[in-house]
Amino acid sequence: MHSDREVGRTKLHEDLLEYQQAIISSPDCAESHHQLGLIWTNFNRLDIALPFHQAAFNLSPQSQLYSTTLAGVYKQCGMRPDAISMYQQSIELEPSVPDCHHQLGDLLLTENSFAEAEEAYQRAVDLNTQNPWTYHNQGRALVALSRRVDAIPKFRKAVDLSPNAGVFHFALGEALQALNKDEAEQPLSEAARLAPDKVEYQQAIGTFFSARQRWSDAIPWFVRALECNPGHLPCYRLLGDALWENGDISSQERAWCEGLTIPQHIVDRLFSGPIIEEVDLNSEEVSCLASKPASEVQLTPKSASAPESGSDEKYLQSARIPPAHVVEIKNGRAWGDGANSAVLTASGRLVKDVSTRNSKLVARASVQHPVTEINGVAAFMSHNHAHGNNFFHWLFNDLARLHLLELAGIELQSIDKFVFAHLRKGFYQEYLDVLGVPASKVIQSCVDPHIKADRLLVPSPTGTVGTSLWACEYLRKKFTDPVGAAAESVSGFEKIYISRNNAPYRKVANEEELLPVLEKEGFKSVKLESMSVGEKARVLSSVKVLVAPHGAALTNLFFCSPGAKVVEIFPKSVAEHENLIGPYPVIAQHCKLDHYYYYADDLSDQESRPQLMKDIRIDKIKFEKMLRRMR
């Protein structure tokens, strides 16, 4: 006996053949083109459906049905200007269809044409007073036009029409809150109650109470927000501020919260979920396959601006390299988000040695979230989403840890899935290709944070400043030998300056003024982000002197040949803070490079920025003297 789905699919195929034959027999029949387009749309093949819908409209341009259908397909295909034009034509043919006005409004809203969108929604409302989404979207357009007072009645109407939809309560509450109205409490609370899985709703009502210094009322909402999504970073600071104001934590613990770590006594007292038992690497459920011992590297800081002054006392003098392991857990689970990671055994116990930050919080909250089942072997490499945004973290905290798997005798080709934080920057796949990891084997924890595998492999997370010698050696070997960089150097790149002109922060404000000075001293300005991995390897292996503002481009120092000089430029405010220097002196020490630091002036109008995010201005005369000393 055939299922209803099988019968329906058979009928679609029969109709497909019928209309294809009809078009062959009568190619000017608009209805046949229209019906065939609908069938392909049902198969989700819009690329095939679109030409048929275009043909139907072209054959019968006075048909409101064909124009509306074509407009909808344009919209689904992301062809917004074409969709807008077609909805406008459809409205000219038949102005009394409210959905056409509504759909036009949605497209105009997406295109930031807010005034035109609001007018389209008003026409839709005039024709149909019972669609809550029309009122809601009209309200959004009015908010975008800074007309919140006019938007509030629209949001109220949407709530009246659909009182069980949290999204409408939330929009009303947000508009009232923006006007500092106490009455925002009721719709915001109702939105959070109706949609307890929406982290932004829980945060919004917490923020409402915080703005009124009702700290004890705000705290539970921030807690619920983090239980919804432990990787929702803004809530750590908001919760920390509320706890401190309420007298629940010390100022030091408040700083921990701002650094994305909730004190354990707060987790135990306020967060729901079962208490999680911890286990170490000696547990019967955990197999430790390979280890690297802890070590320490001594640094020799040098000032590039005043070499006779010796070491700056605030400069990092040594770095501890933590031990590293790779463990195997049968039927293990793992969670990775923007702040934390938690690795759990089949019985639900937390493996603390390979988990990070708020792992207990995550372990308690993760039971509420669906799990992605992976058949076979999975390597869990995700400990922080920031790794996907930052080149240093991507190479040293993610890719370098693949060495631990190889150390355990595991061939990367034998692994079924690799779980990374995310791969937002497309060129990262180039590095995976060199390692033999195809995109089809990658799972991104920003999409699937909670996974379970038949055989879970977890290389332990590595520290930032504690960059290891084995990581430098592994990356150099993997990304030098395959591209032939070891046998080929590039002339003209003996002295380079790495520009941050394309970066969003820590730019050199007067870089154009410095370029002639650099050129005079034989330096070539480069932007490494525009180079392939092979080009980077060849250029960096040729360098004798490298000058660059502190930034992720210095990750590539492992390509440099021993004896090269590296001048790393920092905002001067960094000199006042210990241990803000970062990992690059450690990489330089491992690779036998001469590392120097050079302080530049912070821009005076950027006091609100963190120290390492401030743009800088370099004194031209002092800079030229420094470059001469680096000959």
Supply the DSSP string of 449-480, one letter for each residue. -EEEEEEEEEEPP--SS---HHHHHHHHHHHH
pLDDT at 368 over 80: no
Domains of the chain, by residue range, sit at 199-272, 278-297+318-464, 484-629
Phi then psi for residue 578, to 5 deg, are -75, 145
Q: What is the pLDDT of residues 442-494, one digit of tens each?
A: 998 888 999 999 999 999 887 766 689 999 999 999 998 665 555 466 788 99
Q: How far apart are CA 418 and CA 382, in angstroms?
A: 9
Is residue 171 a contact partner of residue 135, using CB atoms and an 8 Å limit?
no
Is 438 buried (19+), middle (13-18) or exposed (0-12) by CB count in 10 A? exposed
pLDDT recorded at residue 610: 65
pLDDT at 112 over 90: yes
Q: How far apart are CA 198 and CA 188, in angstroms?
A: 12
Q: How far apart are CA 396 and CA 461, in angstroms?
A: 10
Rounded alpha-carbon distances, angstroms, from residue 548 to 236, 553, 565, 596, 599: 33, 8, 11, 11, 12
Supply the DSSP string of 578-591, one letter for each residue. TT-S-SHHHHHHHT
Which of 250-259, 306-315, 385-394, 561-570 is predicted least confidently? Answer: 306-315
pLDDT recorded at residue 603: 78
pLDDT recorded at residue 233: 87
Percent of the chain with pLDDT over 90: 63
- Joined together, the tokens standing for residue 43 give 């198969």
pLDDT recorded at residue 1: 43
Rounded alpha-carbon distances, angstroms, from residue 194 to 104, 163, 164, 174, 201: 30, 10, 7, 16, 10
DSSP-based three-state secondary structure for 342: strand
Which of 197-206, 456-465, 530-539 is predicted least confidently? Answer: 456-465
Higher pLDDT pick, 4 / 472: 472
Q: pTM of the predicted model, to two decimals? A: 0.80
Which of 223-232, 309-318, 332-341, 390-399 is predicted least confidently? Answer: 309-318
Name the CATH architecture for the domain at 199-272.
Answer: Alpha Horseshoe (1.25)
Query: Which whole number is the average pLDDT over 414-421?
Result: 94
Closest CA to 526 of 556, 504, 505: 556
Rounded alpha-carbon distances, angstroms, from residue 307 to 480, 550, 597, 626: 33, 19, 10, 10
pLDDT recorded at residue 75: 94
Whether CATH 1.10.540 fits 484-629: no
Q: How far apart are CA 172 and CA 152, in angstroms?
A: 6
Rounded alpha-carbon distances, angstroms, from residue 290 to 91, 343, 435: 68, 17, 20
Query: Which whole number is the average pLDDT over 188-203?
Result: 96
Rounded alpha-carbon distances, angstroms, from residue 413 to 176, 248, 410, 476, 537: 56, 50, 9, 20, 25
Q: What is the pLDDT of residues 230-284, one digit of tens each?
A: 888 899 999 999 999 999 999 999 999 988 899 999 998 998 877 789 999 989 9
- Joined together, the tokens standing for residue 290 give 């390979």
